[in-house]
Chains A and B, each alone.
Chain A
Amino acid sequence: MKIGIVVFPGTWSESDTHYATNDVLGINSEYIWHKDHSLKDTDIIILPGGFSYGDYLRTGAIASFSPIMEKVILFAKSGGPVIGICNGFQILCESNLLPGVLMRNNSLSFVCENSHLKVNNDSLFTNEYKQNQVIKIPISHGEGNYQADKKTIDELEDQNRVIFRYSSEIGETSLDNNPNGSINNIAGIVNREGNVLGLMPHPEKACEKLIGSDDGLGIFNSIVKSFV
C-alpha cells in the first residue's frame, strides 16, 4: 500500500501531505517529480496544493500538460484513486478528470481560514465519516469558486457526487457560510466512477488536534480502508 504525492514546480503542500499520510498515519508515501514518467507503483495518487507553475495562464492549466499527468490520467481512467487538493483540484478540472472550473473567489481576495464542511459519506473517500457530519478543515485559496453549467451541476447533485459543502458549525449550507461563491456551496466533488476526488480545503492541514483539527485524516483513512 503506497501513496504517491506528485510535485510540480510551485507545489508547496507536498511535505504537509507527506507528513499527514506518512508520519501521522504511517502510510508509506513517496514523492513523484513532475518530470518523472512513472507513478512508481503507487496505489493512490495525490495532487497536493500550491501554485504549480505560478498559476500562470490559469490555475492548474500548465500542470495539466506536464509529463507525469499523462500517467495520472491513465491511472485515473483505469480506476486508480486520485485526490486533488486545492491546486490539485484545479489541475484535475483542467485535465478533464473532473467537470467544472474553479474561478476567482467572489470576494476577489485570497482567503485563509478554518472552514466547516458538511460531509456526504457515500464515497470511497468519506466512508469513515458519519453522514452529514460537520468537519473543520482549513481553506487557503484565491480561486476556489466552483462553477459549472446547469446540466453538470444537476448531474453532480442527482448522482450524489457533491462530497463536501461549505457549512456553518452546525451544518447549515447557506450563503453566509460560503467563503468563495461556489455554486451550491460546493467544496469537493467526485467523478462519475467515484475514484477521483477534488476538493478545495486542505485535509493534510487538519492532521492533528494540536494545530486546530485532525478532521482531515478521515479522507486518507477512508481511501486506505478500501485496500484492506
Chain B
Amino acid sequence: MINEETLKELALSKSEYELIVKRLDREPNELELGLFGALWSEHCGYKHTKKLLRSIKSTSKNTITEAGAENAGAINIGSNKAIVMKIESHNHPSAIAPYEGAATGVGGIVRDIFAMGARPIALLNSLRFSNLKSSRNIQIAKGVIEGISGYGNCLGIPNIGGECFFDESYESNPLVNAMCVGIVDNDKILSAKAERPGDLLIIIGAETGRDGIHGASGLASQNFEETIELRSAVQVGNPFLEKLLIEACLEISNLKELVGMQDCGAAGITSAAIEMAERSNLGLEIDVSKVPVRESSMTPYEIMLSESQERMLIAVKENQYKDIFSVLEKWDLRCSIIGKFIDGNEVIIYNKKKIVSKTSIEVLTSPPEYDLSKIANSYKIHKSKLSLKDKYNSFDMKIIDSHLKNIFNSNNIVSKKSVYRKYDHHVQTNTVLEPGSDSAIIRIKNTDKYLLFSCDGNSRYSLIDPKIGAEINIAESCRNISVLGGEPIALTDGLNFGDPSKPKGAFQLIETFNGFNKACDVFDIPIISGNASLYNEGHNSSINPTPIIGAMGIMNNKTKIISKSFKKSGHKIGIIGNFWGTNIGLSGSEFQSYFDNKTTGDISIDLQFEKHLQYSVRNLVRSGLIESSHDLSLGGLIVALVVSSEKNHLGVEIEKSVPKNWAGALFGEDQSRVIFSYDERNYNDINNLLIDIEWQQVGSVTEKNIKFENILFESETLFLRYNKGFSTDL
C-alpha cells in the first residue's frame, strides 16, 4: 500500500488514490502516480473550481474560442483581427524566489498567447505585497518587480499597466498575476490539437532539466511553506530563449505542415502532451529518451514532470517536418520528435523500447470534482459593523488637513511610477496612453481601432462580502475603460484564494462566482479566460480573497484621447453620480485601513445604475466635449481631485462646503462616480447629452490648491508626497 508521505508530496488525498486504483483497476506505478498528482492538481485539473467555471458567462457574439478549451481566450475585434488574452498567477514560486518566480510567470503567460499564433502586444500585471516594513517584504516586492522587468523587457512586449497594492494579508503569500494580450488574424488562430493519427509530437526550445518538478502539485499543496527549502520547485527563466521561441513559433504558425501548438507550462510535458491528445480525441505515444535533457540519467518521471521553462510542443503532419525544422534551425532552436498521435484513447510512454506506462487518457484527465457548496454550507459570514471615530464627524480644519497629508503617505495612494518606469511601455510603438491612467490605450496599426486595458481588483471589498466585492470588481474594471471612452468587450479573471477545502475558502469562491455571474449578465460581457490560484494560506490565516479582473475595451481611433489629468485652469468640473462620499462608503476603504487598521462595514453597488453611468460617460468622451475624466475609487473624492490636478500642476475650486462628516464625504469610496472637466462653452451640449442621468457642475480647475468654500488644502505638498512614491525604494 502506498505511504501517506508520497501522497502528500503529490498533493493527492487518500480517497483520490483509491479512486485512481479503482479506475485503473490496478495500482499505479511511480511514474503514473506522478502523472496523476500533476493532472489532478488544482492547477491542471480544476477539481474545486470546474463546476463554478462552467457556470460563468464565457461567450458573447464576438468570442471565438470556448473558455478553457485553448491556451487562452480569443475575441473578434473586426477587420479580420482577433485579440487573445489571459491572466495567470505565479504566486507560490514568487514567494520562494521572487525574481525567478515573477520572471517565469511572465514567460508562462506569454507562451500561452503565442501558442495560439498570436503576436503578444501587451503585458499587464497585478501585484499584491504585504506592507514594506520588514526586509523580507521589501526583498519580495523588489525581486518581483525586477523579475517582471528583467524578463518582460527582453521580449519587446510593452508592459502597459496594472496595479501594485499593499495589505498585511499578503504577508505569507504575495500575489503575482501577469496578463498578456496578443493579436492574430481571425483565420490564423492556432489550436492546441493534433488532427489525425500519425501526426508527430515535437518539442522545441529549452532542454529539460530537473527544475520545477512537482510545481503544479506544489501549487495545490496545503503545506507549501514546508517545501520552501525545495528550491528546485522554482524554475529559472531565460528570456532570450523565449524571445527566439516567440519569433520562431510565429514564423512556423504560417506553415501548412503545422497542425497545433501548446505551451509546456505547469506539469510540463505531462500536462501539455496529454491535454493535446485529449482535445484531439486521439491516443499518444511518447518516448522520453527522445526528449533533449540538461542532465544525464534523468528518469522518465523527472522528464515527464519537469517544468523547465521556454519549451513548446507542436503537432506536425506526419513526415512533413522539414520546412518547420529549417525555420527552427534559422533561429538556432533545438527540437526533437518525441512521439506521435495514435488511434485510441491511451497514452503510452516509452523509455527507448520499453513501455513504462500505458494509461487511459480519460482517467488521467478526469479528476474528481468537488462540490464546494457542501463545504461552504457550514460557513456563516460574519460582518462587523463600521464604527467611526467621533472626530470623523466633526469639522476641524487641522484634523482634516493632517489626514489628507497622511493618506498621501500610503503606498496604495502614491504614484506607482517607480514600478512602471522599470518596464518598457513604449516598444512596438502603439502606446497611446501610458501606465498611470485609469486604463492603458494602444492603437492597432492598419485598423481604425484603439484598444483599452485595465487590470484591477479590490480584495478588501471581497473580504467584507465576496459576492458584492466581485460585482464591484467587474464594475470597476469596466469603469476604468468606459471613463476613457472604451466599450468593455471581454474579461479575464485571476482567482487568488485560500484553501477551498475549508468552509471559508469555499464560501468565498462560490460567492465570488455568484457576483461575477450577476455582473457579467448586467454588463453583457464574457469572461473569456482565467486562472485559479488556491491554497494561498500562511501560518495562521489566508489572504484576503483576491479576484483580479483584466478587462479589454475597444473604441474608434477618431475618439479624442483624454486622461484623468485636468488640462487648463478655467475649465469646469462636473460629476456623474453623488459628489460627496458617505460614511458607509468608508467600509473597506483605504482611509479605514490606513487610519483605523480595519476592514469592516457594508458595501453595495447598483449595477443597473452603473451600467447606465458607463454608457453615459462613454458617450460623453466620444462626443469630444470633455477634457478629462476619472473614476472615483481608492481614496475617494479628495484623492481623485488631487491626482487629477497633479500632472499639469493645477488646482481645484469647489463651490461647496465640506460637510461635518468630512471623512465619509471626502474619503468615502462609494461606487459609481466619475469626475470630468470641460470648457464652459460645452455646458449645454453636455447637459443635453446627460439628460437622463444625475450630474452636476461642482467647480472649476484653478492654478493651484484644492479649495472648498470652508477649507483649503495646499496642493504642492500633496503633489510632492504623491510623486515621492513608496515609503521604501523598490
Contact = CB atoms under 8 A, between A and B. Distances in A.
B149 interface: yes
Interface in B542-560: none
Interface stretch (A37-45, A107-115, A169-177, A192-200): A107-115
Given A210-B443, A211-B432, A12 B243 contact: yes
B244 interface: yes
Contact of A113 (B149, B239, B421): B421
Nearest to B154: A51
Given A54-B238, A110-B149, A210-B432, A205 B156 contact: no
Interface stretch (A13-21, A70-78, A125-133, A155-163): A13-21
Interface stretch (B252-260, B422-430, B456-464): B422-430
A53 B155 CA distance: 12
Contacts of A10: 154, 240, 243-244
A12 B424 CA distance: 12
B445 interface: yes
Interface string A207-226: 11011100000000000000
A211 B244 CA distance: 27
A88 to B, nearest CB: 14
Interface string A79-114: 000000000000000000000000000000111110
Contacts of A55: 154, 240
B501 interface: no
A10 B429 CA distance: 18
B427 A19 contact: no
A50 B331 CA distance: 16
A16 B244 contact: no
A138 B240 contact: no
Contacts of A204: 429
Given A54-B238, A205-B427, A19 B243 contact: no
A13 B156 contact: yes
B332 interface: yes
Contacts of B429: 16, 19-20, 204-205, 207-208, 211
A211 B427 contact: no
A164 B562 CA distance: 31
B153 A211 contact: no
B426 A202 contact: yes
B723 to A, nearest CB: 13
Interface string A1-38: 00000000110110110011000000000000001000
A191 interface: no
Contact of B427 (A16, A111, A208, A210): A16
Contacts of A53: 240
Contact of A12 (B156, B241, B420, B423): B156
Nearest to B422: A110
A140 interface: yes
Interface in B134-159: 146, 149-150, 153-156
Contacts of A15: 428
Nearest to B431: A211
A202 B153 CA distance: 14
B600 to A, nearest CB: 39
Contacts of B243: 9-10, 12, 51, 54
B155 A112 contact: no
User: In the complex, which range does the number of interface residues on chain A fall in?
Assistant: 20 to 34
B426 A112 contact: yes
A51 B150 CA distance: 11
B428 A111 contact: no
A140 B426 contact: yes
Contacts of B422: 109-112
A3 B1 CA distance: 71
A65 interface: no
Interface string B404-446: 0000000000000000111111111111101000000001010
B144 to A, nearest CB: 14
A141 B183 CA distance: 26
A210 B434 CA distance: 12
Contacts of A113: 421
Nearest to B445: A19
Nearest to B150: A110
B248 to A, nearest CB: 10
A79 B451 CA distance: 44
Contacts of B423: 110, 112
Q: Which of B238, B240, B429 has the most CB of A within 10 A?
A: B429
Nearest to A17: B429
B430 A211 contact: yes
A204 B429 CA distance: 8
Nearest to A23: B445
Contacts of B150: 110
Contacts of B431: 211-212
Contact of A50 (B156, B421, B426, B430): B156
Nearest to B443: A210
Nearest to A11: B156
Contacts of A202: 426
Interface string A40-74: 00000000001101111000000000000000000
B625 to A, nearest CB: 21
A152 to B, nearest CB: 29
A213 to B, nearest CB: 10
Interface of A: 9-10, 12-13, 15-16, 19-20, 35, 50-51, 53-56, 109-113, 138, 140, 142, 202, 204-205, 207-208, 210-212
19 contacts: A9-B243, A13-B156, A13-B427, A15-B428, A16-B427, A51-B153, A51-B239, A54-B154, A54-B241, A55-B240, A110-B149, A110-B423, A111-B422, A112-B420, A112-B421, A112-B425, A113-B421, A140-B427, A212-B434
Given A112-B426, A138-B426, 20 more contacts: A9-B240, A9-B243, A9-B331, A12-B156, A12-B427, A16-B429, A35-B330, A54-B243, A56-B240, A109-B149, A110-B153, A110-B422, A110-B423, A112-B153, A112-B420, A112-B421, A112-B424, A140-B153, A208-B429, A211-B426
Nearest 9 CB-CB pairings of A with B: A12-B156, A54-B240, A138-B426, A140-B424, A51-B154, A205-B426, A112-B424, A16-B429, A110-B149
